[in-house]
Structure 1
């Protein structure tokens, strides 16, 4: 749906890629990729923030209530055979959020979404940068 300043934002976004040696279609596709990535990440964070309304309990409490069941499932021998990669990452304590700032008060999933967004945006922008011709860095 178009908002009153939709074209202003779109023009501003497209103009960021002007003068970088890109084909017109590449400019449009790059903006689309960035906008889609950001929109998807924003929706994921919004979903984690509204989960309490849907479940009736804060996210961390919801996980704590279910953690016993998950632990029961994970000790079954068939678990590690069926999910060897998850088992390996769990053994490495990846899901314990080892990079989390002790002062971070966000919920588990919100933190996961934000961390994935930051990592993914870096990958996306680095990938886009490889398409830019370094010899044409003049902007209009």
Structure 2
């Protein structure tokens, strides 16, 4: 995980920008400086494209200014700093996520659809999996994402805290798988993985004592033959998702047959969460 995190800027100014034009907050007034040729939406769209191409390391105010054809200092008339920009960029990616209507489907299919939507998010924007959202961006994109994902657990008989716990567990799993998948894609592009195994495999065969490590040798060989590598991110995701759903079934299916659980009233609970 990189050191990047959301909600590291000034809360009042960042929230006003996040909710600009929605009626949910007043956008910051114009700052002093030359007449502005862009708007915040154009700045954010360019920043998303830059992050998609170059990752978070390439998302700097200087590079963004070059892409937009403006002076670096002029960007500060749109966003206060890079911390604020990161919140805007991630919330924009959340807002653009496809959201499947799973109304009426069994709960496992609804929850699996949420997992796949997040997986697609990280495929389109690999950098998003590297941003810590322990303090979420709290913008309209993140809020709509959370509202949509909670609906996957409607009718499951769980109280509000259990629903949030289940969703958190699911999204943490998908995020971890996304980081592994991104690393595997990078290694395949560079040829590092094949080269490493070509060099390390024969060396390992000479030193690895099958009598001392019988399980490691036997299981490792079987898994490598089955998956074509030491780790197959696609298989790990599919296998793990089914096991995760099996685990949630221990909560959901008994609760569906029990009396409806009381909801836990907690002010602004929905606004606290971000993934």
Greater share of helix: 1
C-alpha separation in 2, matches of 1:12 and 1:135: 24
1:19 alignment partner, SS class? coil
Label 1:84 to 1:112 Cα distance change in 2 as closer, same or farther (>3 A): same
Q: Higher RCO, 1 or 2 (CA under 8 Å, sep at least 6)?
A: 1
Shift of 1:90: 4.2
Secondary structure of the structure 1 residue equivalent to 2:169 = helix
Any unmatched runs of 5+ in structure 2? 1-5, 7-86, 93-140, 261-275
Given that residues 13 and 31 in structure 1 are in contact (C-alpha distance below 8 angstroms), is that contact kept between their aligned partners in structure 2? yes
Aligned length: 121
Give runs of aligned pairs for residues 5-44 of structure 1, distance below 5 A: 5-44=141-180
Q: Is the 8 A contact 2:155 2:256 kept in 1?
A: no
- Between the aligned partners of 1:88 and 1:57, the Cα distance in structure 2 is 27
Q: Deviation string for 1:18-76 (max 9, x for gaps)?
A: 221101111000000000000000000101111357xx5342232112211111122x3
Instruction: Give 1:104's aligned residue.
Output: none
Q: How high is the TM-score relative to the length of structure 2?
A: 0.39
Aligned residue in 2 for 1:89: 219
Q: Match of 1:103?
A: none
Over the aligned positions, Cα root-mean-square deviation in angstroms equals: 2.5
Provide TM-score, normalisation by structure 1. Answer: 0.73
Contiguous gaps of at least 5 residues in structure 1: 101-106
Partner of 2:197: 63
